[in-house]
Structure 1
Amino acid sequence: MKKHALPKKPLKAGVESLAQAFNGLKNAEQIYAFLIDLCTPAELEALADRWQVVEPLTKGKPYRQIHDDTGVSVTTIGRVARCLELGTGGYQMALKGGRRGAGA
């Protein structure tokens, strides 16, 4: 199956720069403040919706149950599932990092 392609040059450079900005932040409080400044409320909601369905998807919960539990659209759930299957592994890395941080 085809993996997601990395963004084209200008977008790729911008995303890499953004990743470096996140990397320079020290804790969740700083990341939260950066996200609030960076994103519109709608963008934040979309990001939060995607993130909250990652763990249930990795546990094999059905889309309809995830929708009923979270209110996130089945379309968004499907997009996240596709990224989990065909993406770059970012969701899985973040999920592992979050679990590691939760126990600290």
Structure 2
Amino acid sequence: MKKKDTRPRVAKTAAAEGGEVALHKLLEAMLSLRTAGELHAFLEDLCTPAELEAIADRWRVVPLLIEQVPYRDIHDRTGVSVTTIGRIARCLGHGAGGYRIAAARVLGGPDSSSH
């Protein structure tokens, strides 16, 4: 039998709202940075080296997926797991559109406005 969650629903909602506020403030902070160097310094302070490496690896997979390179070849070239490659591919196809916007602007990828 599953144990009933007795925590107040209001507390969960307040925590979720607090997280949304914190995320919004983080986005504002990132948008305030003016150069790649400033953003790099901010990300080095914000993330662990492993987190930065994981983020960079995910971005490295995007152009390969856009070029329709097979997952196994992407894995062989980058060392990124096939599971992670699949997740990135799902985001490219059905996500919020962030990868496609950035790819269109930075890599010359397909315009995200059609999604």
- Say what the alpha-carbon RMSD is for the aligned residues: 1.5
AA aligned to 1:99 is: L
Matching residue of 1:5: none
AA aligned to 2:103 is: L
How many Å apart are 1:10 and its aligned residue? 3.0
Structure 2 unmatched ranges of 5 or more: 1-15, 109-115
2:73 corresponds to which of 41, 53, 65? 65
AA aligned to 1:68 is: D
Matching residue of 2:18: 10
**TM, length-normalised to structure 2:** 0.74
Structure 1 residue 76 corresponds to structure 2 residue 84: yes
Matching residue of 1:94: 102
**Percent same amino acid at aligned positions?**
53
AA aligned to 1:71 is: G
Give CA-to-partner distance per residue, 1:13-54, whole Å, 9 cap, x none. 222221111111111111110000000111111111111101
State the number of aligned residues: 93
- The runs of at least 4 aligned residues of structure 1 exceeding 3 Å deviation read none
Q: Could you tell me how far apart the structure 2 residues matched to 1:38 and 1:16 are?
A: 15
- Larger RCO, structure (CA 8 Å, separation 6 or more): 1
Structure 1 unmatched ranges of 5 or more: 1-7
